Amino acid sequence: MSRVAAYLPIAAVVALAAVVPLVVTSNTVINFLVFTLIVAVAAQGWNLLGGYGGQYSFGHAAFFGTGAYVTALLQTQAGWNPWATVLLGIVAGAAVGAVIGFLSFRSGLRGSYFALITLAFAEVFRIVANAAGITGGAAGVLIRLDVRPENFQFASRGTFFWVALAVVAIGLVLTRAIERSRFGAHLVAVRENEDAARALGVDPLRVKLLAITLSAGLTAASGGLYAQYFLFLDAGIAYGAWISVEALVAPIIGGIGTVFGPLVGAVVLQGLGHLTGHLAGEIPGVSLVVFGALLILAVAFAPDGATGMAGRLWRRWRRPATTTAATPATNTTTGGERC
């Protein structure tokens, strides 16, 4: 596949999605779609580390919350421009990822040990944010409403949808670029067999550190988007288990280690979660039950996710057509030989 052709599916999906605010006028629907895109960005961040690198994290909330809090606090406490604070939140989240990765990978932690370490860091950050005065403690942080583009706030919710979609597009392009790069090949090699990769000259520590730094930065971007759209944060939102769960489950449902898997998984999860929440009313925990059921079904019947299942169905659908098209040519040849 040529370099340009590799990115055409991304361009097509983004162009199609960009039309949505032009035809959808319901703010409720736009809110749902913006939140879905924010989750998709976090899921794409997790996918870079867990899907391609094989380093499963249970605590991506640590990166999401850092991006969100840096974005919010630099505005409310220091009066900085929101566009700059979002970028600084991404840098801060990436730095946190690099530190956690260095402490974990340098010690040789992998598998379930690494997953538990990330979970522990996210919980520590949540406790500190809930107790610290600068974060507002349990009261949280409220960003002042000031609807101006230069303040990263827009009169139309559709405009923010386009901003979130642009970040999703960046995540898709970044993932595709990594997938086709030497670094991506090294990352997959480390995922498949770290000792064999080391024997071939790959530095697993360097590869995993770069992967977790990129993963954390992208996840922090989703935290910054959340803060700017909802204008409120507390420790339970920023460092809560909900974002770690959704960032992990979405790629598994959509297709782990694929470019579009996190986006597809986020749409499926949020769509079913919204639907079941509407049908079940105020019954608590329904969404978690749905997520758990989907995860079990995906692992049991579609280990390569929705995108992998769609690919198999597409190939199965095309196979009979190919066979049918080839049959007349075979008969003609046979008839010629008989003559």
CA distance 316 to 50: 29
Average pLDDT of the residues in 276-284: 66
Instruction: Say yes or no to pLDDT of 266 above 60.
Output: yes
pLDDT at residue 303 in the model: 74
Asked if 270 contacts 317 with a C-beta cutoff of 8 angstroms, the reply is: no
184-193, 302-311, 330-339: range with lowest mean pLDDT: 330-339
Assess if residue 322 is contained within a domain: no
- pLDDT confidence bin for 339, thresholds 50/70/90: very low
Section 313-320 average pLDDT = 72
Q: What is the pLDDT of residue 99?
A: 97
Q: What is the pLDDT of residue 283?
A: 66
Q: Which two tokens stand for residue 261?
A: 């898997």
Contact 246, 43 (CB under 8 A): yes
Which CATH number characterizes residue 180's domain? 1.10.3470
Q: Exposed e or buried b for every residue in 229-266, given b needs 16+ CB within 10 A?
A: bebebbbebbbbbbbbbbbbbbbbbbbbbbbbbbbbbb
Per-residue tokens: 269 = 């999860």
Separation CA 293–CA 269 (nearest Å): 11
Write out the H or E segment, with its range, that includes residue 117.
Answer: helix 112-131
Residue 337 lies in a domain: no
| 338 within a domain of the structure (yes/no) | no
Residue 333: which pLDDT band, with cuts at 50, 70 and 90? very low
In a domain, 132, yes or no: yes
Dihedral over Cα of 110, 113, 119, 121: its sign = negative
Chain segment 12-48, per-residue pLDDT in tens: 999 999 999 999 989 999 999 999 999 999 999 999 9
The DSSP code for 145 is P
The owner of tokens 């297709």 is 255
Give the tens place of pLDDT for each residue, 88-117. 999 999 999 999 999 999 888 888 899 999
**Average pLDDT rounded to a whole number, residues 270-295:** 73
Q: Which structural domain range is residue 166 located in?
A: 3-303
The pLDDT value given to residue 299: 73
In this prediction, what percent of the chain has a pLDDT beyond 70? 89
DSSP per residue, 213-273: HHHHHHHHHHHHHHHHHH-EE-HHHHS-HHHHHHHHHHHHHH-TTSSSHHHHHHHHHHHHH
pLDDT band at 320 (very low <50, low <70, confident <90, very high): low
The residue written with tokens 């597809």 in the block is 264
Whether 138 is covered by a domain: the verdict is: yes
User: Cβ-count burial of 122 within 10 angstroms (0-12 exposed, 13-18 middle, 19+ buried)?
Assistant: buried
Q: Which residue has tokens 């932690």?
A: 109
- Specify the pLDDT at position 282: 59
Q: Is residue 333 part of a domain?
A: no
pLDDT at 292 over 80: no
> What pLDDT, on the 0 to 100 scale, is given for residue 302?
74
Domain membership of residue 96 (yes or no) is yes
Domain total of the chain = 1
In a domain, residue 314? The reply is no
Residues 7/173, Cβ–Cβ less than 8 Å: yes
Residue 134, pLDDT score: 87
